Amino acid sequence: QVQLVESGGGLAQPGGSLRLSCAASGSIASINGMGWYRQAPGKERELVARITSLGSTNYADSVKGRFTISRDNAKRMAYLQMNSLKPEDTAVYYCNADIRRSFGDRVSAYWGQGTQVTVSS
């Protein structure tokens, strides 16, 4: 079984910072891309940032220059540093990872349960 567990969400003031963490565990042979997505009430889930296994990154235009995605392959962790937070960043943030459970298996996408981020004064 593979699990992704997010942590680090909470309440922040506009202009503040939060750091999200995502821990992958279970039967894992390799992890390809990892990413953070978010879903605000009444809206579709959207990509926030993704990072490849080699460290290449891409970001949604709305978070460029404010958010930074990183990963620690040895620890099977991904992080999202969120600075200069805005009320419109309020959403449930989900971790996503493309994981191969054993060598020779296909790669499958896994999701965490989500962590709430609320930006409000």
CB atoms within 10 A of CB 6: 22
Tens digits of residue pLDDT in 18-65: 999 999 999 999 999 999 999 999 999 999 999 999 999 999 999 999
3-state SS assignment for residue 115: strand
**pLDDT at position 13:** 98
Mean of pLDDT over the chain: 97
Task: Retrieve residue 55's tokens.
Answer: 């460290």
Confidence of residue 102 (pLDDT cuts 50, 70, 90): very high
What is the percent of the chain where pLDDT is above 90?
A: 97
